[in-house]
Every structure is written in structure tokens, then in C-alpha cells.
Amino acid sequence: GSLRLEGEKDKNFSELSGGMKRRVGIAMALAGDPDLVFLDEPTTGLDPQARRDLWGVIRGLKEMRVTVFLTTHYMEEVEELSDRVGILLDGRLLSVDDVDRLISKYGGDAKIVVKNSDGAEEILKNFSCEVFVDGRGNVVGRFDEMEKAAEANLSLYRKLSGDFDIDLVGPSMEGVFLNVAGGRIDESGELVK
């Protein structure tokens, strides 16, 4: 990955955009070939391409065995870049674990959203899930296990006809944060609502 600073080399720092200033700061942090880098919300203020470029830089650092301590509010970033995650709320560390374990343990429900389909509600009612119609008229099935949602998803594709769209959404780091921040972790590491 590259920070793409080349086009700005003749400008004073004060003339740079906010996103470019952020990139220069990151380049300065990396200049000394460190073993450990602290990046405090490094993608805030970056456009989507610059954000993806920085993700590439962070992945490159990981490949070079540099420890990256990253703070972010973007859960997609956590899933993409992190091996271990600590969840902080109001200055308290609520949980620390591997990304996959956190998602498995606290990631929330899996759900299927079916757009433009008659018959989806009846098919989903055959599975042990909560079925409802959302505010946009989509049929939603909420499952407590991803495997059950995947089975229902396959059944929908086999039985529905016409022009429909199905989104299968699994547990995520966003679900982890909402569940952990909305609850409390007891001494044994279990979530208490």
C-alpha cells in the first residue's frame, strides 16, 4: 500500500487538505522503521480511496511484523485489519479477544432480508426464526445461528420465483460493540444484559 504523497511534495504542510495532513502524519510515524505504531483513528477525514490505501499500508506493516495499535470507531475497519480487539466504553476496557471469537460470542443475530418477493414470509415461518416486515416492505428473518440462516437462505432461493433480492447478513463487529457496550461483562467474561 501507498500513502500517495508524491503529488503534494512541493506544498507547505499548511497548504495540504485535512486528509493529506493525516497521511503525512502517518508517514512521519513510519519513518523510523518502528516495531510498534500507534494510529489514533487514522482514517477519519480520508476519502474512500485514501482510506483503502491506508488499509493496504497497515496490512503491509502487519506483514513486516510491526505491531499496530489502532483506535477506530469504524467496525468495518476493525474486522478488516485487526487480529485482537479491545472494546472501550467510557474509558473502561470491557472485552479483549480475537476478532473471530468476539463475533462468534457477541456478534448478534444473523438475518435474511428479502426484497420484492411474495411468499418469503411463509417460507421463513417454517424455520425457527423471528419473521417481520420492515419499514420498507422487506420480509426479514432474524436467526440466532448463522447456519440456520444459511439453510433458510438456500430454501428461499429454491422456492421463490420472479425478480427478488436476498441479503444474508451475519454477525459482525458492529453487533459485538452494540451488545458489549449495551450490556456488561462479568468476572468470568460472560455478557450480562
The answer on pLDDT for 92 being more than 80 is yes
Q: What local confidence, expressed as pLDDT, does residue 188 receive? A: 59
Q: Which fold is adopted by the domain 6-71?
A: Rossmann fold (3.40.50)
- Topology match between the domains 6-71 and 109-170: no
Per domain, the residue ranges of the chain are: 6-71, 109-170
Q: Who wins on pLDDT, 154 or 3?
A: 154
Q: Give which of 100, 95, 85 is closest to 184, Cα–Cα.
A: 95
Q: Who wins on pLDDT, 141 or 19?
A: 141
The answer on pLDDT for 186 being more than 90 is no
Task: Give pTM, 2 decimals.
Answer: 0.70
Cα→Cα distances 189→77, 87, 94, 96, 151, Å: 24, 13, 9, 10, 31
How confident is residue 138, by pLDDT bands cut at 50, 70 and 90?
Answer: very high
The answer on pLDDT for 187 being more than 70 is no
Please state, as a whole number, how many other Cβ atoms lie within 10 Å of the Cβ of residue 28: 9
Cell numbers standing for residue 149? 440462516
Superfamily of domain 109-170, CATH level 4: ACT domain (3.30.70.260)
**What's the rounded Cα separation, in Å, for the pair 77 and 85?**
11
